[in-house]
Structure 1
Amino acid sequence: MKKNKYSLSLSLKFLCRVVLMTVLGTSFLCFSVKGDPVEPQRVTLNLREVSLSVLFQEIKNQTSFKFFYNDTQEKDMGKITVNVKNETVERVLERVFQGKGYTYKVSGEQIIVVKREEKTKSVEEVVIEGTVVETGKDSMPIIGATVVLHGTTTGVVTDVNGKFRLVVPLDDEIYIEISFLGMKKQVHKVVGLPNPKPMRIVMQPETVGVDEVIVTGYANIRKESFTGAATTVTKEDILKVSPRNVIDVLQVFDPSLRMVKNNEMGSDPNTLPEFYIRGRTGMDGVKQLDLLEAQQGGSMSKFSLTTNPNLPVFILDGYEVEVQKIYDMDPNRIASITILKDAAATAIYGSRASNGVIVIESVTPELGKLQVSYSFNASLTVPDLSDYNLMNAEEKLQAELLSGLYDLSKANDLASYAKKKNYITKGVDTDWMSQPLQNQFNHSHSLYVSGGTEGFRFGGDVSYAHEGGVMKKSYRNRMSVGVYVDYRVGKLQIRNNVSYDLAKSSDSPYGSFSDYTKQQPYYEIYDENGKLKPELNIGVKNPLYEASLGNFSKGESSNLTNNLSLYWYFNDHLQLQSQFSITKSDSEDRDFKDPLSTSYSSQDNPFTRGELSVSTTDNFNWNLNAFLAYNNSIGKNYLNLSLGINVQENQNSNLSSQYRGFPSAALHTIGHAKEIVRKPSGEDNKTRLMGIFVSGNYSWDNIFMADASIRFDGSSEFGSESRWGSFWSLGAGVNVHNFKFMAALPWINQFKIRGTYGATGKVNYPPYAARDTYEVLFDDWYSTGIGATMKGIGNENLVWEKTNSTNIGFDIGFFNKYSLTFSWYNRQTVDMITDVTIPSSAGFTSYKDNMG
């Protein structure tokens, strides 16, 4: 615990330094600007037979001017030839428009193409003035916002004070349109014509709806041009279904994600249900690797069964996290969840993507004044026994008699039957199923604070959740705290998110519910003194007696994460993003058996009664992502490209020990144990992964679209002969609803046909399976020192397991209200990694190899 407190303190100190540097940096960057005379901007051009748009683009490349025109004006101007050297822009434009039906107007750094008017015409004009500011307490002016007459390209830009002055022809109704990068576009009606008062426009930050984009973790792709199979779920959707945890509700929104209920554990809040996306790609079974580890004395928490061959990958804000992190996450902290299912959607994750990818985006602070929100959710968990129809005591005894269990001609059978009949006569009819159950009131609390300006935003959250099971004394309590800062200056943006999560759990001392369904209703629970019977009959233990003792199975886990993200925006279309994450997590599980347990009834030695098993795990992971992202629309062409690198390292250590001989349940700490059953055992593992990827998405006229991606992964978990693997995908699609002939069917608002094919991979076996491993023998010393024995045989030729996926489907939307999605998919796993049995005379019984 000291280690955790130190780590948290260190992170808080780091956060304070970031805030301090932000304040000092902001103060340092405050300076005055003095106006200087503006020199005419000059250009050098050599263009032959080009369109108006090409001419304007070349001028834009050499100056700071922006141009406003429409397709009709460009068509009427025809082809243009210009050959000038170091000439002013005004002179060039005068030559271009000479003798044409159009001319131009200059407003600041904006050049607007307008129709050439007859000098004899007199048009009454109106002057529209106003100020454009951003939302928030300070209402800072927005410099460079575009203000145009709605429906035209006539407009101006705001000055350094956010002010604008627009002169337009007088009309019965006038609307102006205001736009600025990163802000929501607005349209306002001008009131008070013909002498309107100065207007005040307050702009809101633009947020792209989750229904419009697909978040892959490395890029945000327009949903309309995406060919892959993905499902997006919003925070509001999650909270409507269940505010308790995220995992339980995902299958409601996507039928391809299936939960496998654990009937043995029932509604135990400390057991995570198994689930998979689009079927299983690995060998079936209940995580045999972890079970084997537990049998050999390792740590086996129900939440650490990460070698499930069918478990999808979880990405939180760009970083891979364990499923426990998501299970314990407060749903109020989630902005959206995207389930990526086919190769086109997941191939960018390469060797981790065969089972699908679930991308979670957390809530970020909103611009504006300080906001405080509190959320409280409550639910009642009630056991449902309606499916059980068990016999009462009299019916059960009669059934046993009729089945021939008792031969009443024999003295022993007669005595046994008479004893049970006597219990029934006294009124014994025990309802065993109700004994270990309870109605549980569950509740969660969440407090969120956010605010800030355009340059600095902050957010903080604190949450607590209690989730109890229907088995008595079973629970899982989750607590979390997080701090988020977002600093922006110029083209640089810095984000840092620190979170700490703590979970405490306890299994029910009443054991398994199935034990109670097997008990006989004619047995008495209590003796004549009103105390619980240790045994119901000879050799039949009373589970309620065991539950009344000091037996317990408790666990505690903590997770400290710091995510740092840097963004450099070269322009509106190109950005460089770098992310670095550090995660420190640990857990401890303690299982104690009371020395008064009936399992020790045959033992006379009091020093062998009472056992304590302790298992601890310690993890340290770091993850680095760096990539370039480009997106742009050029005419009818839309392009989205990503190029990047990913490097990560995972360090894991576990230790297990067992102690025996405790004087009582009250004295159950290690110091009170008589002896250590066996020497503590454990493992230290370290794995590294490096990936290089390229991903692209293209669409033409929002009709034809294509996706392609390729990734190369190198892992330390493979042998030297096949350390690198390649993973790729291709996809194509057609938005039929955007064809002109679909205008005859206005009730169909979407009709997309899509298809993808690709290869993804996975790693779901213990580290070092491709290498020979040795175990150091500290118990045996030789003259040259300690010895070692071979623990496992490796396979240097082990190659990546891959899944080839084909997906064909369509999406149809009706009346902007209803939707239908159809997908046909086929997945084939090749080079499956599995255990190969060999004769024990080789010294080992199995090794890892590729099959199929």
Structure 2
Amino acid sequence: MKRSLILSILFSSITAFSFSQKITINMGKVSLHEALKEIKKETNIDFFYSDRELNTDRVVLANFIDTDIEEAISKLVGKTYKIQKNEEGILLITPIHSVNFQNEITIKGVITDEFNNPLPGVTILVKGTKQGTTSDFDGNYTIKADKESTLVFSYVGYNTQEVSVNGKTEINVQLKTAVAELDEVVVTGIIERQKETYTGAVTTISGNELKEIGNQNIIQSIKTIEPSFLVLENNIQGANPNILPTIEVRGQTSISTEDLRDEYDSDPNSPLFVLDGFETTLRTIVDLDMNRVESITILKDAASTALYGSKAANGVVVVETKKSKDGELNISYTGDFSVDIPDLSDYNLMNAEEKLEFERLSGRWTYYSVDPAYQIPLDSAYNAKLADIKRGVDTYWLNEPVQTAFTQRHSVYVDGGSDALRFSTGLSYRDNEGVMKGSGRDIWSGNIDLTYRKNKINITNRLYVSGSMANESNYGSFEKFAQANPYYKKYNDENEITRHLETSAYGNYVRGYYGYNIVNPLYSSTLNNIDETNGFSVQNNLASIWTINNNLRVQAGIQLKKSTTENEVFISPEETIYDNVSFFEKGEYTNAHSENFSYVANAMLVYHNLFNKKHSLTGNLRAEIEEQNNESYTTKAVGFPSGSNGKPSFSFSYDLNAKPNFYTNKYRRNNVMASVNYSFDKKYFIDLNYRLDGSTAFGSKERYSPFWSAGLGWNLHNNFGIKGDVINVLRLRQTLGYTGNQNLGSVASTSVYTYNSLINYYGAGAKLTQYANADLEWQRTFDTNLGLDLVMFNNKLDAQFNLYNKNTNPLVVPIDLASSTGLVNYPLNVGKLKVNGWEAVINYKIINNLEDQLF
């Protein structure tokens, strides 16, 4: 009574009008005490509560925009407290009365995030009641409930989770980041960084965004969303589903030549792809089931890519698949299909009448001298073609080898488990028809993921198996259909596809002037040619995390991968390319078999601490080793009787003066990496990365090379207090550093010898085919970036501006200086300009319905 009287006197000046006002603050994660103190300062309102009943030291998220005061306080203190306004206008914060349970037990546990960091301030409620509590600074909680109750765990930015008690007295929970908050954490494949204090230039794409764009494959969706991710058009291969795309992130850094590479190395300008923390191939990403993708992060500048050192000069694409969830058993099925329709409208070819007239005007049907013996056969041939045209012959060849291609996809996903053990498994199948008749690619895959978490140990094992069967069209090249003359008929008078459209009836007199053994482009489709590739791969990723304490943890991982590929090609002896070849050399069978085995192992120490509630420090120390073993065997048989099915036993011999080919190589890599991120009061921050790479792919005098990056950032919205209804984020970034490229060959610094086929008195000789270069240096690319991030209109508009420049040495190749601008449809628009080696990129994303905010 005495306390109420004093409070009444102290705050009698506060009127009801004070509680109708709204508040806007942006403090981020602070203690409840600091949040209430700031609200009191802004609104001149005080609060009444008991320190024994309200834990004011726990961390809360104090970000409110034009929010009613009572609503803001309710969100801060949680659902286990009620907010009341007394007669004096004071806000009273009191706990909700406890509930008496018939079979009451006491439950304890720890609440962590996806990275096993403790989560303070999580609200825990007994479902169906108002009984609840919150977790402390270390994520610990204690609550009383019935042994058959259900606990509900909720926290800002995380998915709410329900767990059945079932008589358990210890329940540990790992909350998952809500999809809407995915872009708040930057996933680099090695470390995780808070976006608010990260200096790197990155783009994060969710799995849902990928599917909103299209369902062809992951690469096609990324191309539409991210402007710096360029997929170069391949006009020769067109829409062939078996050809890998050529990709560049922010232009080229290397000389693109086969002379500097061996058969196991990739395009020197292709980005590095990382799947679930381990490096992978472009083929794996293209064939990956899109429904398994949780997020994709594209690392574009030195501050973000230097973590990968010698492999990062062309950018890094990090793909994270969906993780298993605990709870009841869930089964999901996804099925979709797509249609590819060949667009031939760009081919503006002449019709039969136009083509023949063009040939006449160009002199094709006129002999260069007046000689009736030569001119008469030409006139006869011309008149015969003209007569066919008058009878209606006008063949459109382009639509013969193509089709409307249908692609169907099916995937089944099952997950579930308990707090300690979770599992997920999935199967997917994709039947991908090609636009060229007979071409296609069938892909199947399966995965089994197991996660065990107990106390401070977290172990995850992911087994992934996949296979494919690819077929090339037996119609041959589309080019020959574009070159076929429209005044020829597809079929003869018996409606048969002939070997030749025309053969010279006049011998050598007109050879070179008109059709001499003109091949029918449809003839190849009648033969039993084969071009088939079968692939199979299995990989296992094992990762573990040991949380030593709240500030320190150890991570380790190992990947084992085995893959095989077999390619069979049979060219029928009846093909027209063998018209002038001896009988015993007609036809060809080639079999190429390759195998790859690799392992990668890494270990990392992670440290994080917050000093004086303003100084945030995160450090990582990591080491990694890798070994690649590749083998390939190729053999060729020639000479097949007509009508044979391409089995090598039907061949007459091996290729003349040739022998089977065998290729093998082994190379190893190792590296150590250190990374530090420091932030002061979430206003100023810095990123430092250093990596030392070693590889057998380079000269013996240049086995190791350092790579580094540095980045500075400034959150202007926190420094000047401009965060509000219009501007949510205004961040300035500057980065620079060195990265490398190791896609230029694995044996380029090694002397290679081959045996001569000649034998003398001393035996077989060997010749040097490649000379070792002990001074072969690593390719190093210097990269600098000035960036500006802007989020406006209550997170509805997300824009990013980056000004890049990079220079490569050795193998110096200037950045593509061609100027280009463009706009892309929802969800991302982009304007891009390249001038004098500097590349400026602006990309912005419109979320939800921004028009309602602007007009």
Change (3 A) 1:390 1:215: same
Displacement of 1:607: 2.5
For residue 839 of structure 2, what is the aligned residue in structure 1? none
1:350 aligned partner, one-letter code: G
Change (3 A) 1:567 1:404: same
Displacement of 1:104: 7.0
Change (3 A) 1:437 1:181: closer
For residue 300 of structure 2, what is the aligned residue in structure 1? 341
1:600 aligned partner, one-letter code: Y
Deviation string, structure 1 residues 85-110 (Cα, Å, up to 9, x no partner): xxxxxxxxxxxxxxxx99975999x9
CA distance in 1: counterparts of 2:752 and 2:328, whole angstroms:
59
For residue 682 of structure 2, what is the aligned residue in structure 1? 702
Asked if 2 retains the 8 angstrom alpha-carbon contact of 1:347 and 1:709, the reply is yes
Asked if 2 retains the 8 angstrom alpha-carbon contact of 1:659 and 1:670, the reply is yes
Change (3 A) 1:522 1:569: same
Deviation string, structure 1 residues 711-745 (Cα, Å, up to 9, x no partner): 001111122211100000000011111124415x6
Displacement of 1:463: 0.4
For residue 631 of structure 2, what is the aligned residue in structure 1? 653
Change (3 A) 1:284 1:802: same
For residue 20 of structure 2, what is the aligned residue in structure 1? none
CA distance in 1: counterparts of 2:231 and 2:671, whole angstroms:
31
Q: Does 1:326 align with 2:296?
A: no
For residue 595 of structure 2, what is the aligned residue in structure 1? 618
Q: Does 1:211 align with 2:183?
A: yes
Gaps of 5+ in 2: 1-29, 39-47, 60-91, 112-120, 126-131, 163-170, 503-515, 814-855
For residue 418 of structure 1, what is the aligned residue in structure 2? 383
Asked if 2 retains the 8 angstrom alpha-carbon contact of 1:347 and 1:759, the reply is yes
Q: Does 1:253 align with 2:225?
A: yes
Displacement of 1:183: 7.2
Q: Does 1:244 align with 2:216?
A: yes
Displacement of 1:832: 2.1
CA distance in 2: counterparts of 1:361 and 1:621, whole angstroms:
21
Displacement of 1:143: 2.9
2:238 aligned partner, one-letter code: G
For residue 97 of structure 2, what is the aligned residue in structure 1? 128
Which of residues 520, 539, 544 in structure 1 aligns to 2:485?
520
Displacement of 1:181: 13
CA distance in 2: counterparts of 1:590 and 1:318, whole angstroms:
34
CA distance in 1: counterparts of 2:122 and 2:307, whole angstroms:
41
Displacement of 1:243: 2.1
1:278 aligned partner, one-letter code: R
Displacement of 1:515: 1.5
Q: Does 1:473 align with 2:442?
A: no
Secondary structure class of the residue paired with 1:417: helix
Gaps of 5+ in 1: 1-66, 76-100, 113-122, 133-138, 166-175, 188-200, 294-299, 835-852
Deviation string, structure 1 residues 449-471 (Cα, Å, up to 9, x no partner): 10001100011110000111111
For residue 608 of structure 1, what is the aligned residue in structure 2? 585
1:822 aligned partner, one-letter code: F
Which of residues 163, 166, 171 in structure 1 aligns to 2:144?
163
CA distance in 2: counterparts of 1:159 and 1:686, whole angstroms:
50
Change (3 A) 1:637 1:274: same
Deviation string, structure 1 residues 560-601 (Cα, Å, up to 9, x no partner): 101111110112332211000011011111211111111222
CA distance in 2: counterparts of 1:731 and 1:156, whole angstroms:
35
Secondary structure class of the residue paired with 1:128: coil
- TM-score, length of structure 2 as denominator length: 0.75
For residue 568 of structure 1, what is the aligned residue in structure 2? 546
Which of residues 104, 109, 125 in structure 2 aligns to 1:143?
109
Asked if 2 retains the 8 angstrom alpha-carbon contact of 1:183 and 1:204, the reply is no
Alpha carbon RMSD of aligned pairs, Å?
Answer: 3.6
Asked if 1 retains the 8 angstrom alpha-carbon contact of 2:124 and 2:153, the reply is no
For residue 604 of structure 2, what is the aligned residue in structure 1? 627
1:338 aligned partner, one-letter code: T
For residue 705 of structure 2, what is the aligned residue in structure 1? 725
CA distance in 2: counterparts of 1:124 and 1:798, whole angstroms:
71
Which of residues 495, 506, 519 in structure 2 aligns to 1:541?
519
Displacement of 1:131: 10
Change (3 A) 1:608 1:141: farther
For residue 378 of structure 1, what is the aligned residue in structure 2? 337
CA distance in 2: counterparts of 1:591 and 1:147, whole angstroms:
62
Map 1:45-60; keep pairs closer than 5 Å: none
Change (3 A) 1:184 1:471: closer
2:362 aligned partner, one-letter code: S
Secondary structure class of the residue paired with 2:788: strand
For residue 458 of structure 2, what is the aligned residue in structure 1? 493
CA distance in 2: counterparts of 1:245 and 1:655, whole angstroms:
31
Q: Does 1:449 align with 2:428?
A: no
Displacement of 1:786: 5.2
For residue 670 of structure 2, what is the aligned residue in structure 1? 690
Q: Does 1:438 align with 2:403?
A: yes
CA distance in 2: counterparts of 1:833 and 1:825, whole angstroms:
17
1:270 aligned partner, one-letter code: N
Change (3 A) 1:102 1:311: closer
Asked if 1 retains the 8 angstrom alpha-carbon contact of 2:450 and 2:462, the reply is yes
CA distance in 2: counterparts of 1:130 and 1:147, whole angstroms:
20
For residue 852 of structure 2, what is the aligned residue in structure 1? none
Change (3 A) 1:125 1:808: closer
Asked if 2 retains the 8 angstrom alpha-carbon contact of 1:277 and 1:341, the reply is yes
For residue 735 of structure 1, what is the aligned residue in structure 2? 715
Change (3 A) 1:718 1:124: closer
Asked if 1 retains the 8 angstrom alpha-carbon contact of 2:106 and 2:144, the reply is no
Secondary structure class of the residue paired with 2:476: coil
Q: Does 1:399 align with 2:358?
A: yes
For residue 98 of structure 1, what is the aligned residue in structure 2? none
CA distance in 1: counterparts of 2:299 and 2:51, whole angstroms:
50
Deviation string, structure 1 residues 182-240 (Cα, Å, up to 9, x no partner): 976899xxxxxxxxxxxxx9988232532111111111100111111000111101111
For residue 531 of structure 1, what is the aligned residue in structure 2? 496
Provide the identity percentage: 34
2:109 aligned partner, one-letter code: I
CA distance in 1: counterparts of 2:441 and 2:404, whole angstroms:
15
1:667 aligned partner, one-letter code: N
1:212 aligned partner, one-letter code: E
Which of residues 228, 238, 248 in structure 1 aligns to 2:200?
228
Deviation string, structure 1 residues 645-666 (Cα, Å, up to 9, x no partner): 0110011111221111222454
Secondary structure class of the residue paired with 1:771: coil
For residue 554 of structure 1, what is the aligned residue in structure 2? 532
For residue 89 of structure 2, what is the aligned residue in structure 1? none
CA distance in 1: counterparts of 2:218 and 2:456, whole angstroms:
36
Asked if 1 retains the 8 angstrom alpha-carbon contact of 2:754 and 2:768, the reply is yes
Asked if 2 retains the 8 angstrom alpha-carbon contact of 1:156 and 1:164, the reply is no
For residue 173 of structure 1, what is the aligned residue in structure 2? none
CA distance in 2: counterparts of 1:576 and 1:246, whole angstroms:
32
Change (3 A) 1:819 1:105: closer
Which of residues 802, 820, 827 in structure 1 aligns to 2:799?
820
1:752 aligned partner, one-letter code: R
Asked if 2 retains the 8 angstrom alpha-carbon contact of 1:710 and 1:727, the reply is yes
Asked if 2 retains the 8 angstrom alpha-carbon contact of 1:289 and 1:307, the reply is no
CA distance in 1: counterparts of 2:388 and 2:259, whole angstroms:
45
Asked if 2 retains the 8 angstrom alpha-carbon contact of 1:218 and 1:642, the reply is no
Displacement of 1:307: 3.0
CA distance in 1: counterparts of 2:479 and 2:94, whole angstroms:
86
Asked if 1 retains the 8 angstrom alpha-carbon contact of 2:790 and 2:799, the reply is yes
